[in-house]
Each structure stands twice: as structure tokens, then as C-alpha cells.
Structure 1
Amino acid sequence: MEITRERIEPTVEQVRLQLHPSDYQEDYKRELAKAAKSTDFKGFRKGKAPISFVQKTQGTSILYNLIFKKLNDQLEEYLKSEGIDYIFSPIPAESQKQYSFNPLAREEFEFVFDLFMGISLDETKGWAEDNEYEYFVVKDVEKDIDEEVERLRNVHGTFLDEENVVPEGSTLLSFEINAANNSEESFDVNPFNMRFLWTEFTEDFAEKLKSLKVGDELVASINEAILADFQRNVEKEYLQKNSGSEGGEESETAEIPENFNNIPLKWILETVSVRKLADLNEEFFKNISGPDIEIKSEEDMRGLIEKNILHDYQQRSNQILFHRFHKRVKESNELSIPDRFVEEFILKDQEMRALTEEEKKGVIWEIITNKLIEHFKLDVTEEEIRQQLFFTLQSYFGGQTPPQFAETMLERMIKDEDARRDAVNRIITTKLIFHVSDALKKVETEVSIEELEGILRAEFPETGDEEE
């Protein structure tokens, strides 16, 4: 078999394969004999049909299958051995001759395929050239570290009871709440008890609370006392406490009194609990250590926190860099795609038409993306898919998936082709962002945390997240 290749258009190469009778005749005879032995022919015992009869009845199909198997094998081997960087799949040339595949004709076969060469990474603007990008670096993260240390101490701290109100964000106040009935009007509100964080109170109500001690009382409606974002919690607590329901569920028979949030209520202060920050001692460091990380000192803790914070800001900077890379690649590169490839691989079942500029840019980006995935040898493991689907499942339930549903729903998602495809795309995109950001030429610009957040908002005005 002879194989040649030539450039026929700026983005198209043509591969020509020639098969001579000497390339297939011996194989054809073997396939013919094999068919005679293994196929049942009417009027003959199995395996006893004459070769001439088999050739007459099945010769054309046997030769056709043989030629195309040889053709596909040789073309695939040639493209691989030559390292030809082409896009889409080879398609028969418009000039391709038709053959009868008559086994008696001993035909000379010539098959011609067009290859769309597209654009290589080595000539891609934004990657191989014009590939210098501003890269934002946050170095001063002491404030973030201090805040995270305080958060951890707060989480692992304990509550201490106080006699007087302590106006701090972590202070917990518990009240007995009744209707403030008087001689002029009465409200049908059953008493109930509830705890509130200091941050849930309105400014006016918080100001009044500052002078109180345990046992004191004051009168205010829910609208006057509680911020709007937390008022629904009061309604739910009222329904639960006054219906006898358990497990945090609302009773179907319990009802909220009419105009509930505007009813004057008596708030009797029962307890004041102030969180005491955990001491930085051996027990605290043990509690915040992970299965693979042992923290023994404040220095260890701050070092690990700093590493995690810097990693988080690096990921945000990578998103900005990748987004700018994406825009530059689409805007800076041009690609002429012949109509026959547009019709076969892009429009597919749609009516033939010219691509819009945005569609052309989309094709360029898809081509470069696929080349980069191949360049970095990116793949996805089954464990990564499972983990990504679990994260997706967690997001449906605000990070707390009910245990009784978790495993069943996860197994269902793993079998869902659309869910798996989405998980794979997310994983590949994450890996691609990291590798591209690492490979590009970067000019570092030090920024503050606030400046980085502002750049992110400007870069992604709608979602604040990377969009590719």
C-alpha cells in the first residue's frame, strides 16, 4: 500500500492511499475460504459449498469489508506514526472515485481523505505568542489569619452564663415570650421560649437590651425586635413549641396568629450566655488537627491557615488569568473552516449556513481547549467523578445531605449520564485552569484582598465565578 500526503488548502491536507491487487488478493482468498467453511448455503452441507459459488454470492461484500478494514487500519497507523495534528475526523475527498468491488476485476483502489489541520498550539496567539499576562498576588494576609484564628477559637469555645447583657456578636439571649395583653386589648398568642444571637436583633431593640439583666422584661413586636432575615425562624419556633411537634418539623394543624409579627409581645430575659474563646492550648490544637495534619503550636496553626488562605487567593487569581487567556485566544486567532467540515462536524443535522463570528470563536476555543487537554494529558478517575458528584449533592442541601438519602442519591447520580458528563467537565476545567495558569508567562502585581475582590467582580460581573 502506498500513502502520500499534500497540502491542498491553507487548513486542509489530503491523504492518498493506493491499494494494488497484490495488497489484498491473498487476504481475500483466505476470507473467501473461511466463509465457505463457516457459512450455511442452501443446497450445500455446511462447509461444502464450492469457492466459486461463495465468490459469486458473497465475493463483493467480503472484498468490500476486507478493503475497508485494511484502509482504516493503515490510515490510523499512518496518522499516528506521522504524528499528524489534525482536527475532527478524516472525511472522503469530494473527488473520491466509486468502485464496484468486483472480485474478478482485480481493481486498483485509490482512496483520498481530507484532513482539517486547524490551528496548532505552537502558532496559537495567547499561548505560544503574545502570552504574557498580569497575575495578581496577595501577600499580606495577616488580617485573614487573625480572623480565622478567632473563628476557630469561637467555634471550639464554651458559653458562660452572665447576669447582665453583654452586647457582643456571639452573645446568646434566651427569652420567655408572651402576649403583652392589657385592659384595652388582648391577643391570642401562646407563650413560648426562644434563644437569639445578638446579631439577630434590630438596632433599636439591641439598644434597649443593653441595660437589662436576667429577669428583666420589655415589650416589642417581632418586627420591632428581630431583623427581617430572621423573623421566619420565630414563626417556625412558635409553631413547633405550640403544636407539640418534634424533630424541628412544623405541625400541619398549628397556626400563626393573625398579624403575628406586629403583635406587642412581652420579652422576659431568662439567660445571658457569652461565648468564651478557646485557649490556645494542647487540647485546642488537637481538636483542630486533621487526620493527616497534626498541629502542635500556634505557629503550626497560623502557618497552615496562611497556606490555605494563599491557596484560595491563588485559585481566584488563576480564574482571572484563565478568563483573560480565554478571551485573548478567541479574539486573537482566526481560522478558515471549509464548508464540508462545517456541515459534517459543526452544524451536523442543521441546514447548511455560514457560521457567525461568535460561533467561529467558539470553535477556535473548543479546538484549543481540546489540544491543551491532550497537551497536559488530563484525565478523570472514577473516584474524582464520585467526589465531584458528592460535592454537587451537598450543594443541593446547603452542605448537609441527610444521611438516609446521601448514598442512594449519589448512586443514582453516578448512573446518570448527564450528571457524570457535567462532573467530568467541571473536573477537567479545574485541572485545565491550574495547568494553563502555571504554564503562561506571568507578570506579578501585588494587590490587597479588597483589590483582588474588586478585580474579580469586574471580571465576572454576573456571577463572580469563572465561566469557562
Structure 2
Amino acid sequence: MNISHQKVDDVNANIKVELAPEDYNPSVDKAIKDQAKKAKLPGFRPGMVPTGHIRRTYGKSILFDEINKLVNDKIAEYIGENKLEVLGQPLPLDSDADANYNWDFKDTFSFNYEIGLAPEFDVPFAKETQFTAYDIKADEATLTERVKNLRRSYGKMTNPEVSEEGDVLYATLKQDKEEGIEKTTSVRTDIIEDAKIKKALVGLKKDDSVKIDVKKAFKVEDLARILGITEDEALALDVTKFELTVKNINRLEESDLNQEFFDKLFPAGEVTKEEEFHAKVKEEVENLFKQNADQKLRNDMYTFGMEKVDVQFPEAFLKKWLKATNPNISDEELEEGFADFLNNLKWTIIENRIVTANSLEVKYDEVINLAKERIYAQIKMYNINEEPTDEQLNQFAIQLLQDREQANRLFEEAKALKVFNHLKENVTLNSKEIDYVAFEKLDK
């Protein structure tokens, strides 16, 4: 057997595999014997079918399968031994389609494949590479808003006689024209964008009416939902004046800061005072801010790496490979998503080079722990008081990882986290304190 490769250019190459009968016949003979032992054919006792009969009846099919397996295995070995960083999988060259073989166990075969190679480049991250690591502080406005949202989440609904800002009006909206739109629906006053209209809806009682311009009052998506029409129809409204008539006023009263409220948010008895509650809220908010800061740092590292690595890819090969592995994809769909595919591929190669160069290893325990974190967050999202045991989380995580797709996703996430933590330790991070409002404006 002879395997060799020849570069076409920096990112394309061809692999040639040559097989003589002595290369493939041992595995073909073994496969025929195995088939004879398992075959159940009329006129023969189980396991007693002569190998000659199997060779005559199924020989060419077995030969084809064994050669295909042998070639694939040997190409994979060759790629590994020669440390070729291959993109996608090898594809048979079109010229091989014209090859004419007898498939009589005496042929000398020659197979040619095209491969795409990852471009050569230096990973652009070093100790002198500088990034800003933001330390986001919880300002009073953010904390006040968070406390308000928590109190409203556990508050009670009331029906006051007179409307105030923030109430939900159950009302009829009637378009100011004959045979116009008429819809009875809930109108949240907190989403109204026009200050004058918002003020006009304060102080209303049941059966009071007021005329409003709905396009000034609401965003298109909100207006479409309120009127029960499409966004295109909302944009195309010819008459935007509507009469709003109040049917009922709904108000969500904020929960009192008492023990009952504290125990709904935290394990019973953990928080007993208002000061402890505010401290817990601040801790929760600033932990979320740490995640935001980390995500910003990751985005900055990604942007830096993508800009610094300016390389060419074997685009023609990759498009051909994508078509071969996704036969139902249209040319239009392929072109539409190809730029994003190349960006993802570039960053994957950068990450893999960092992993290889620094002998980073993603361990099973790390994937398990990441799965447990995701499951815990999901449980707490739906039931803040439920506290699963570590044993339960472990069982859930193992079940989750039995799904190959989920396991691959979590492995890639764990790898990305390992790369990020490695970069944080091996570049220069300049810490900068910032409040949340200013942080939110950074990328705008």
C-alpha cells in the first residue's frame, strides 16, 4: 500500500491511495469467512455455508465494503501521522468516477481525494496583549429597580378606581373611522413611549374615554399585539387616532418587605431583616454583572483574534464538502450562511491552536460540573425556593450527557471556557471600575 499527498496550494491538497491485491485480500478473505459463519441460506445448515459460495454470491459487495473501510482507515492514520490539519473530510476527486475496475480480487486500485487544509498563522494572544476587565458596580437606580421588580413579582393584583402610571388598563380601542378596528384588550401603560399620552392615561376611571395616537404611543410590535394584527398591518394603518375606553383598572401592588416575602425568595429564615434583603439583592446583581463583564471580555478577545488573524480558507473545497454532507441545502442557503460558517471555523481553529499549544485538556468532571450548573440555573429559574441536592444534579447531568448532541455542546462550551480562562491568565488585563449604565453604553 502506498499513500502520499501533494499540496495544490497553501490550503488545498490531494491524497493518493494505491492498493495492491496483497493489501486488501487478507481483510476481504476474513470478511467472507465471517459472513459464511453467520449466513442462513436455503440448502445449507447455519454456519456451514461454503466460503466459495459466499465469494461467488456476495464477493464483489464485500470487496467494495472492505476496500472502502481500509482506505478510510488508512487515510485517517496518514492524516494523523503527518499532522495534517484537515478541514471537513476528504472528498473523492471527480476524475476517479471514470475509473474502470473489474472488482475480481486482482485489481490494483488507485484512489484520489481532495482535502482542505487549515491556514497557517500565529495565535495573536501574548502577555503584552492588553484588554480591559470591567468591574461593574451596582448603582442605586439599578438596585432600586431590582427591588421593585422582585416586590412586584410577589405582589397582589388590585382593581383601584382611579388609574396611576404603571397600571394595566383593560380597555376598548376603537379606530376613529367608520368600520374601523375595534378591539378590547389589556393596555400596559408602562410601555407607552409618548410622555403626553402616558400622562393622559393617569387619573382615568371606569367608562372614561380618551383619544390617543396609537403610533406615537406604542412600538410597532406592541401595537400589533394589542390590536391583534400583523406588524405590516400596524405600519400601514391609515388612521392612527383611536378612542380608548376604560373597562377596568388592574394594578400590581408591591409585596411588603416582611418575613413571608423574604422566605419566598430565599431559604426559610436565611433573611430576616430588610438590610439583609438589600445586601442579598446587591450580591445577586453584582454576580450578574460579573457575568456581563466576563462576556464583554470574551467578546473583546474574540473580536481581537478575528481581526488579527487575516487568512484565506479553501472556500471552493469547503462549499463542495458542505454540499456533499448536506445534500438538501440549496446554493442560495449555502451562500447566505457561508460567511458565518467561515467566522465560526476561524475562531474554532484559533481555540484549537491554543488548546494544542498549551496542552489544555477538558476533563469529564468539568463537563459534568458545567451540566450541573446549567441544570441548577434552570431549576432556580422556575422555582426559586427549590434547592436540588448534589446527588440529584449529578443524576440529571449524567442523563443529559447521554444525549450526544447535548454532550457535544457542553464539551465545546467547557473547551471555550478553558480557553477563556487560559487567556485571562496569559494576557494583560487592565481593571476598570464602571457603573452599569455606562457599561451598557460601551458598544452602542
TM-score by length of 1: 0.52
Counterpart position of 2:442 = 455
One-letter code aligned to 1:87? L
CA distance, structure 2, for counterparts of residue 135 and residue 326 of structure 1? 14
Which residue in 2 is equivalent to 1:113? Answer: 113
2:76 corresponding residue in structure 1: 76
The counterpart of 1:344, out of the listed 321, 324, 327, is 321
- Structure 2 counterpart of 1:288, from 265, 285, 310: 265
1:123: which partner in 2? Answer: 122
- Output aligned runs, 1:26-45, within 5 Å: 26-36=26-36, 39=39, 45=44
Structure 1, 303-312 or 425-434: larger mean CA deviation:
425-434
Distance 1:430 1:49 in 2: 52
> Which of residues 193, 200, 223 is equivalent to 2:210?
223
Mapping of residues 178-327 of structure 1, within 5 Å: 203=199, 221-223=208-210, 261=244, 278=256, 285-290=262-267, 294-296=270-272, 300-327=276-303
Alpha-carbon offset, residue 365 of structure 1: 1.0
Label 1:382 to 1:336 Cα distance change in 2 as closer, same or farther (>3 A): closer
Residue 367 of structure 1 and its aligned partner are, at CA, apart by 0.8
AA in 2 matched with 1:72: N
CA-CA distance at 1:13 after TM superposition: 4.4
Contact kept, 8 Å, 2:306 with 2:346, in 1: the verdict is no
1:400 equivalent in structure 2:
none
CA separation of 1:297/1:14 partners in 2, compared to 1, >3 Å: closer, same or farther? Answer: farther
Amino acid at match of 1:62: I
- Does 2:332 align with 1:334? no
Q: Tell me the equivalent position of 1:365.
A: 343
SS at match of 2:63: helix
Q: Is the 8 A contact 1:64 1:101 kept in 2?
A: no
Aligned residue identity for 1:68: N
Question: Is the partner of 2:210 in helix, strand or coil?
Answer: helix
SS of the residue aligned with 1:447? strand
- Residue 137 in structure 1 maps to residue 135 in structure 2: yes
3-state DSSP of counterpart to 1:123: coil
Q: Which residue identity is paired with 1:100?
A: Y
Task: Give the Cα separation in 1 of the matches to 2:68 and 2:409.
Answer: 39
Cα offset, 1:109, TM superposition: 4.0
Q: Take 1:73 and 1:198, find their aligned partners in 2: how far apart are those partners? A: 64
Secondary structure at the counterpart of residue 31 of structure 1: helix
- Offset at 1:433? 7.8
SS in 2 for 1:445: strand
**Residue by residue, what CA displacement relative to the aligned partner does 1:34-72 show, whole Å, maximum 9, x if unpaired?**
445655778x64677765555444433222222222222
Contact 1:288 1:295 in 2 (8 A): no
1:202–1:224 Cα contact (<8 Å) kept: no
Distance apart, 1:10 and its partner CA = 0.5
Aligned mates of 1:386, 1:112 — CA distance in 2: 48
> Does the 8 Å contact 1:93/1:113 carry over to 2?
yes
Letter in structure 2 aligned against 1:76: A
- Relative to structure 1, the CA distance from residue 260 to residue 319 in structure 2 (aligned partners, 3 Å threshold; closer, same or farther) is same
Gaps (5+ residues) in structure 1? 160-164, 173-195, 210-217, 230-258, 268-272, 395-419, 459-468
Partners of 2:211 and 2:243 within 8 A in 1: no
Post-superposition offset of 1:289 = 1.2
Q: Which amino acid aligns with 1:334?
A: V
Q: For residues 418-437 of structure 1, what are the structure 2 equivalents within 5 Å? A: none
The CA distance in 2 between the partners of 1:140 and 1:437, in whole Å, is 25
Distance in structure 1 (CA, Å) of the matches to 2:10 and 2:27: 39
Shift in Å, 1:446: 3.0
CA gap 1:309/1:98 in 2 versus in 1, 3 angstroms: same
The secondary structure found in structure 2 opposite 1:450 is helix
Could you tell me which residue of structure 1 aligns to residue 433 of structure 2? 446
User: Sequence identity, in percent?
Assistant: 17
Q: Tell me which residue corresponds to 1:89.
A: 89
Give 1:88 shift: 0.7
Structure 2, gaps ≥5 residues long: 168-187, 219-241, 356-360, 383-403
> SS of the residue aligned with 2:137?
coil
Deviation (angstroms), 1:90: 1.4
**Aligned partner letter, 2:89:** S
**Aligned-pair RMSD on alpha carbons?**
6.1
**2:10 matches 1:10:** yes
1:334 alignment partner, SS class: coil
**How far does the alpha carbon of each residue in 1:368-407 deviate from its partner, in whole angstroms, 9 at most, with x for none?**
3545787685979999999999999x9xxxxxxxxxxxxx
Whole-angstrom CA distance in 1 between matches of 2:373 and 2:70: 39
- Sort the Cα spacing of 1:329 and 1:365 in 2 relative to 1 into closer, same or farther, 3 A: farther
Q: Is the aligned partner of 1:100 residue 2:101? A: yes
Q: Distance in 2 between matches of 1:14 and 1:130?
A: 40
Which whole-Å deviations, capped at 9, do the CAs of 1:399-423 have from their partners, x for residues lacking one? Answer: xxxxxxxxxxxxxxxxxxxxx99x9
Structure 2: distance between partners of 1:68 and 1:390: 48
Mapped to 2, the partners of 1:135 and 1:221 lie a distance apart of 54
Give deviations 1:345-377, integer Å, cap 9, x for gaps: 259668989x98x97643321213545787685
Kept after mapping to 2: 8 A contact 1:93/1:114: yes
How many equivalent residue pairs?
354
Residues 391 and 74 of structure 1, relative CA distance in 2, 3 Å threshold: farther
How much does 1:15 deviate?
A: 4.3
Matched with 1:252 is none
The structure-2 alpha-carbon separation of the partners of 1:299 and 1:98, relative to structure 1 and needing over 3 Å to count, comes to farther
The 1:360/1:63 distance shift into structure 2, 3 A limit, reads: closer
Task: Assess, with a 3 A threshold, how the Cα gap between structure 1 residues 5 and 391 changes in structure 2: closer, same or farther.
Answer: farther
